[in-house]
Amino acid sequence: MAGATNRLPKLPVERALKVIAGRWKPVILYYVFDGPKRLSELKRMMPDITQKVLIQQLREMEEHGLVRRQIFAEVPVRVEYSATVLGLGLEPVLLSLCAWGQRHAKEQNDIPDVADCIVRPRRAPGATAAT
């Protein structure tokens, strides 16, 4: 991970933007904020992303400490991705960006195409989706 950190800009705002840069990283984070997700779950939630790009974005976020990849010793092997404490720190930032995007759309008279910023309650660690 030190190699990735060395390549990041020194200016904090530039560093933050670089770490979350990419079309899909904020969306992936949005989905893992409420609990661990398998690769197939994330792919279903984002049908327009290719599996190659999804894996690439997850690896970059793992390298920067935003998501954790957990491998379970099962047959077949199960892998889950979840937000780290550092990654969860971006939740209010991304929600603020979402609110700003809504305000921008409103001021640009582009309201019909803008989605809501949904704040979902976070599941307790170890809880299943049915909980």
Indicate the pTM of the whole model: 0.79
Kindly report, residue by residue over 26-75, the tens digit of the pLDDT.
Answer: 999 999 998 999 999 999 999 999 999 999 999 999 999 999 999 998 88
- 78-106, pLDDT tens digit by residue? 999 999 999 999 999 998 988 888 888 88
Rg value, the chain, Cα = 16
Residue 114, phi then psi, degrees to nearest 5: -100, 130
- Residue 59: both structure tokens together: 């690896």
CATH 3.20.20.80 fits 2-113, yes or no: no
DSSP string across 30-68: HHHTTS-EEHHHHHHH-TTS-HHHHHHHHHHHHHTTSEE
Burial of 10: CB neighbours in 10 Å, binned 0-12, 13-18, 19+: exposed
Question: What pLDDT is attached to residue 43?
Answer: 95
Before 9, cis peptide (omega within 30)? no
Strands (E), the chain: 37-38, 67-72, 78-83
Residue at 105: amino acid letter? A
